[in-house]
Amino acid sequence: MRPWIDTHLHLLYPQRLDYDWTRSLPVLDRAFPLEEYACTAQPLGICQALHMEVDVRVQQMEAETELIGDLARQPGSMIAGAISSCRPEQDEIGDFLERTLSNPLIHGFRRVLHVVPDHVSTGDIFRRNVRALTRKGHPFDVCVLARQLPLADALARACPESQFVLDHCGVPAVARQVLTPWKEDIARLASNPNMACKISGLIAYGDANRWPDGDVASVARDLRPYFDHVLDCFGWDRVVWGSDFPVCNLTRGLATWKAATDMLLAGCSGAQVDALAHGNARRIYRLADQA
């Protein structure tokens, strides 16, 4: 079975951390431990995962990293590393910067940008700190809504030495099957050589009422225009794959998302699939080969 690396795993441990944003989403407002994820992911061929920060309260950012470190050290753990939360808009992040850059668990950083005013990512302090966070090769994941794609483009152009990864294909309106201006904005964003794209989250943005239970073909049909356009724009060497577990459960879940991905990749070469499945993730996030 081809190995897959999941570059976008969320784990929820509400007994240890606060996830304020899940309270309005009953499907997600509970614990989602590593054991539950592994039971679904491993039979699908997913062998390693990067934990993506879950937008905990700012004072708990490093506690989240400690928790994921504990999980990563468990025998046979699927966790290959973590993408840490950060607050580049804060003027002084020196102590945080030095601690996190020296932590071998951390393979990247993210600041969710659709929960703050648009001007946050355009400030000089924010951009200066992004350059500092990425100076040792750590990628910076960009999580924006479709209307904010021009902000991602501006950030990539302002920090040309930094490696960026666009999360969730820029959150297109899959449920409404809207492509414009998302298509044009994705093409412009992909013109930045320092921007890669994470094919994740797409299933969470669809309309589950259009997808009969067990009908993976209907899911793949709705996702196809977005999936293909991202590959056309970024090419096979600048895309990675992510589950967005457990957010994918808002519609049809991890197993259906992986099955839809496989269907969308039918007819592609083995080298192309390998690049998306694990090769690009190892290079961009600087992950060691699994022993």
The tens place of each residue's pLDDT in the chain, 291 residues long, gives 899 999 999 999 999 999 999 999 999 999 999 999 999 999 999 999 999 999 999 999 999 999 999 999 999 999 999 999 999 999 999 999 999 999 999 999 999 999 999 999 999 999 999 999 999 999 999 999 999 999 999 999 999 999 999 999 999 999 999 999 999 999 999 999 999 999 999 999 999 999 998 899 999 999 999 999 999 999 999 999 999 999 999 999 999 999 999 999 999 999 999 999 999 999 999 998 754
Per-position DSSP letters for 187-247, written without gaps between them:
HHHHTSTTEEEEE-SGGGGS-GGGS-TT-HHHHHHHHHHHHHHHHHHH-TTSEEE---BTG
Question: Counting Cβ atoms within 10 Å, is residue 69 exposed (0-12), middle (13-18) or buried (19+)?
Answer: middle
Q: Which residue type is seen at 39?
A: C
Residues in the chain: 291
Residue 291, pLDDT score:
47
Q: Compute CA 102 distance to the chain's CA centroid, rounded to the nearest angstrom.
A: 22
Token pair for residue 100? 């996190």
Q: Is 3 helix (H, G, I), strand (E, B) or coil?
A: coil
Residue 290, pLDDT score:
59
Half-sphere exposure of 7 (CA within 13 A, CB side): 31
Rg (CA), the chain: 18
Question: Counting Cβ atoms within 10 Å, is residue 219 exposed (0-12), middle (13-18) or buried (19+)?
Answer: buried
Q: What is the DSSP letter of 102?
A: T
Calculate the alpha carbon distances from 97 to 102, 109, 111, 238, 286 in Å.
Answer: 8, 11, 14, 26, 19
Is-contact 226 174, C-beta < 8 A? yes
Q: Is 41 helix (H, G, I), strand (E, B) or coil?
A: helix
Residue 225, pLDDT score:
98
Q: Is 267 helix (H, G, I), strand (E, B) or coil?
A: coil
Is-contact 213 251, C-beta < 8 A? no
Phi then psi for residue 258, to 5 deg, are -65, -40
- Largest Cα separation within the chain, whole Å, is 51
* Separation of alpha carbons 174 and 115, rounded Å: 20
